[in-house]
Amino acid sequence: MSLEIPWDRLFDAAASAQARAYAPYSRFPVGAAVMTDEGSIHAGCNVENASYGLSACAEQNAIVRAVVEGGKRLVAVAILANSSAPCPPCGRCRQMIAEFAGPDTPVRSRTQGGEEARYTAGELLPHSFGREFL
């Protein structure tokens, strides 16, 4: 079964979130949006902290919002940043994506200029640690 992903809606949601990013230290605002298997879309932005290590990524916050709002499984992840090349998710976010996505779940990243990179969750984090090991 292949599900049609409304990527433009996802990137619109990511853009609205990016506009609210709290990134006074890095000045690198990021927006992300995830879609669940029930079709709901949840967006997040990065939220930094004066104690830099406490900063939370956009993908992380989008996933946390999905879970709070009842989401269980992710079917798509969209990331939007102002980098010149599409920004791939950091290692921590890859692990968070792996928890709620399958290896074939598509992850797309776009620049402001519309350049896009396409990955799957499994490509981003092969051999991931998961609950099956616990």
Q: Which residues carry out catalysis? A: 59
Q: How far is the CB of 71 from ligand THU (least distance, A)?
A: 19
What x-and-dash track marks residues 101-130 binding ligand THU by CB under 6 A?
------------------------------
Residue 85 engages ligand THU in binding (rule: CB under 6 A): no
Neighbours of 92 (CB within 10 A): 12
Does 23 help bind ligand THU (rule: CB under 6 A)? yes
By the rule CB under 6 A, 77 interacts with ligand THU: no
Is residue 93 part of the contact set for ligand THU (CB under 6 A)?
A: yes
Among 36, 43, 63, 89, binds ligand THU (CB under 6 A): 89
DSSP conformational letter for 19: T
Contact segment (CB under 6 A) with ligand THU among 1-9, 20-28, 33-41, 99-107 equals 20-28
The Cα–Cα gap between 52 and 69 comes to: 28
Nearest to 123, CA basis, from 98, 86, 92, 87: 98
CA distance 126 to 11: 25
How many angstroms separate the CA atoms of 117 and 77, rounded?
12
User: Is 21 within 8 Å of 61 (Cβ atoms)?
Assistant: no
Residues in contact with ligand THU by CB under 6 A are 23, 26, 28, 30, 46, 48, 55, 57-59, 79, 87, 89-90, 93
